[in-house]
């Protein structure tokens, strides 16, 4: 199974109010194992970078001035992600910017059916805990010591490791192939649901009434009891 873990950096919070994507980083996973393939690009947003956003990711106007427009790299991006599921943290945010940029340059939106949101996974698995990427890295022992500022490719690399842990850890790479797993599951289901026939040995009914000898011995025993209650 092929999946793409991705992250974006932007000029702000909402593309509908003029904010734009300035960076995207994508990591390829196959059977939840990183293949080493990635896609990474910076984009010229054709607008100034707000101070608050630059303070988060460090991408200023001077750095982005000579970077390509999103439309110049869009086909390369689409060729990389293909039709794979897309994994992101707080995925509604990243999908919102990705789809805005795609539509702006004449491409259809990416269906949210392909969305895998690690924030939702983390909330289900660890209710009441902190669910930021930093907090999840700490929980799962993912080294983020080199993360000074946010960066799309770096954050995607960290998220890929967190995602594997959220899905059960690295041992999942040792699973059977999909077809073998399906067959094994079918066999288990059949064993659990098939009717069980139990063969029992016939035994004749046993007598439950006392014999004459047993009744006589019982009467003798009663005579040995001093001051029995049934005589009072």
* Active site members: 150
**Helix, strand, coil proportions of the chain in percent (round to 5)?**
45, 15, 40
Residue partners of 70: CB distance under 8 A and separation at least 6: 20, 21, 43, 101, 104, 105
Task: Please check if 9 is assigned to a binding site.
Answer: yes
Torsion over CA: 164, 166, 167, 169 (sign):
positive
Rg (CA), the chain: 34
DSSP state of 227: S
- β-pairing, 33-42 with 21-30? antiparallel
DSSP state of 70: H
CA torsion 172→178→183→184, rounded to 10°?
0
Task: Please check if 14 is assigned to a binding site.
Answer: no
Task: Please check if 155 is assigned to a binding site.
Answer: yes
Task: Please check if 57 is assigned to a binding site.
Answer: yes
Task: Please check if 191 is assigned to a binding site.
Answer: no
Residues making up the binding site for substrate: 7, 9, 52, 57, 155
Residues making up the binding site: 7, 9, 52, 57, 155
Residues making up the binding site for a divalent metal cation: 7, 9, 155
């Amino acid at each position: 199974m092929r999946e793409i873990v991705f992250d974006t950096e932007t000029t702000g919070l909402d593309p509908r109010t003029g904010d734009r994507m300035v960076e995207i980083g994508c990591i390829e996973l196959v059977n939840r194992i990183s293949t080493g393939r990635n896609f990474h690009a910076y984009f010229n947003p054709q607008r100034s970078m707000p101070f608050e956003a630059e303070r988060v990711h460090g991408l200023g106007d001077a750095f982005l001035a000579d970077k390509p427009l999103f439309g110049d790299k869009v086909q390369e991006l689409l060729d990389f992600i293909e039709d794979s599921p897309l994994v992101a943290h707080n995925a509604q945010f990243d999908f919102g910017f990705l789809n805005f940029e795609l539509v702006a340059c004449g491409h259809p939106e990416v269906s949210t059916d392909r969305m895998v949101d690690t924030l939702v996974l983390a909330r289900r698995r660890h209710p009441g805990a902190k669910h930021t990427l930093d907090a999840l890295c700490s929980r799962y022992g993912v080294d983020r010591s080199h993360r000074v500022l946010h960066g799309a490719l770096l954050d995607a690399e960290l998220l890929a490791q967190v995602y594997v842990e959220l899905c059960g850890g690295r041992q999942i790479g040792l699973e059977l192939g999909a077809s073998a797993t399906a067959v094994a599951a079918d066999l288990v289901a059949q064993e659990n649901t098939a009717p069980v026939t139990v063969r029992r040995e016939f035994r004749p009914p046993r007598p439950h009434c006392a014999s004459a000898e047993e009744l006589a011995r019982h009467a003798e025993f009663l005579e040995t009891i001093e001051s029995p209650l049934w005589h009072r």
